[in-house]
């Protein structure tokens, strides 16, 4: 169909589409797992204006996915205040979605921000709230990662017990490296 439907939807003219979203998520997660955080953040930031303009951002699930990815990218990119503010904006956007998963994810992002700012008491409270929310949502792996983060901040016997419990849960789920899984679910 020349000058018809398919031409109007060509990748060069259609803007950001679902396939692009999945490609961006996959590439950024691979970058993060490979320890190439600056590349992940650059990749996300380069696409962010197109994502925000796209119709996908009007649909709840893609908006959830993109806000989560943007926040994670900012958090792994560093502790500079502009990065933390970008992650905070995403946390607020996720909280407004009001889904069972978006509230604890938002709480987890805010906990990571507090930890990066050195606000340990706030981070501990937010990690506890996030783990409870993940438990309620049936997202038990995320809940374990939050408890592991709590243990890292607490230290001592109580912290060690939280880490050991989280690691034991992850090992039962056949996760070979609980520390790396936690870094993926809760970078910080």
Global pTM reads 0.87
Tell me, what's the pLDDT at 16? 78
143: nearest Cα among 164, 122, 129? 129
Tell me, what's the pLDDT at 14? 56
Query: Could you say which DSSP state residue 138 is in?
Result: T
Question: Does 13 have pLDDT greater than 60?
Answer: no
pLDDT tens profile 69-100: 999 999 999 999 999 999 999 999 999 998 99
Mean pLDDT of 149-173: 98
Q: Where are the domains of the chain?
A: 17-94, 100-188
Burial 142-166 (b: 16+ CB within 10 A, else e): bbbbbbbbbbbbbeeeebeebbeeb
């Amino acid at each position: 169909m020349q000058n018809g439907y398919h031409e109007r939807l060509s990748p060069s003219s259609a803007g950001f589409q679902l396939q692009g979203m999945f490609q961006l998520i996959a590439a950024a997660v691979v970058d993060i797992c490979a320890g190439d955080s600056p590349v992940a953040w650059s990749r996300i930031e380069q696409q962010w204006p197109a994502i925000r303009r796209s119709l996908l951002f009007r649909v709840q699930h893609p908006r959830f996915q993109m806000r989560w990815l943007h926040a994670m990218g900012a958090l792994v990119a560093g502790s500079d205040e502009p990065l933390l503010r970008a992650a905070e904006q995403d946390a607020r956007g996720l909280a407004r979605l009001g889904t069972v998963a978006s509230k604890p994810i938002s709480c987890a992002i805010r906990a990571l921000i507090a930890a990066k700012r050195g606000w340990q008491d706030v981070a501990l409270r937010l990690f506890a709230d996030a783990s409870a929310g993940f438990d309620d949502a049936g997202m038990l792996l995320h809940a374990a990662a939050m408890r592991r983060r709590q243990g890292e901040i607490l230290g001592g016997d109580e912290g060690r017990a939280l880490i050991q419990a989280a690691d034991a849960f992850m090992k039962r789920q056949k996760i070979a490296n609980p520390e790396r899984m936690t870094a993926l679910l809760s970078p910080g």
